[in-house]
Amino acid sequence: MRIYFGVLKMAEKKDEKYIKRMADMLRQGSALTDLSCPVCASPLLRLKDGTLWCAKDEKKVIVVKEGEEQAKVTSAMAMEELQKLSTALSDLLDNLEKIKKMKKS
Ligand SMILES: [Zn+2]
C-alpha cells in the first residue's frame, strides 16, 4: 500500500510539470486543441506556426487525416530535412565565398 502511494505521488509530480509547461506555452500564444496525443492521450497544443505539440512528451505530433496517405507525412518530414540541409549548404557556400574573397584581397 505504501509503495503504491509512493508511485502515485511521483506520477502526480510529473503531471504537474507538464501542466506547468503547457500553461507556459499557452501564455506564449499557443492554443489548446481538441486533439489528443496518440502516445499519451493528453490534449495537444497548436503552436503559433501551426505545429501540433504534446507538452507531456515534448514532441511534435503529426496528425494523419483519414484517407490521407502516410507517404504524404513522410514526404513532409523529408521536405523539412531537405530545407534544413539546404540552409546548411547555403551557409557553407557563403563561407566559401568569404574565404575566396579574403584570399583575393
Ligand atoms: Zn504525448
Q: Are residues 10 and 53 in the same domain?
A: yes
Ligand 1 centroid–CA 30 distance in Å is 16
| Locus of grid cell 515534448 | 58
Average pLDDT, the chain: 81
Q: Are residues 87 and 104 in the same domain?
A: yes
In terms of Cα–Cα distance, which of 6, 56, 20 is closest to 36? 56
Ligand 1 centroid–CA 40 distance in Å is 4
Q: Are residues 70 and 59 in the same domain?
A: no
Q: Are residues 35 and 54 in the same domain?
A: yes
DSSP string, 5-47: HHHHHHHHHHHHHHHHHHHHHHHTT-EEEEEE-TTT-PEEEE-
Q: Are residues 5 and 46 in the same domain?
A: yes
- Residue 78: which domain range? 66-105
Q: Are residues 4 and 40 in the same domain?
A: yes
CA-based R_g, the chain, Å? 21
- What is the band of 47 on the pLDDT scale with cuts at 50, 70, 90? very high
- What is the band of 100 on the pLDDT scale with cuts at 50, 70, 90? confident
Ligand 1 centroid–CA 72 distance in Å is 22
| Locus of grid cell 507538452 | 55
| Locus of grid cell 503559433 | 48
Q: Are residues 47 and 70 in the same domain?
A: no
Q: Are residues 20 and 70 in the same domain?
A: no
Q: Are residues 79 and 48 in the same domain?
A: no
Ligand 1 centroid–CA 42 distance in Å is 6
Query: Which range (44-48, 88-92, 100-104) has the least confidence?
Result: 100-104
Ligand 1 centroid–CA 52 distance in Å is 11
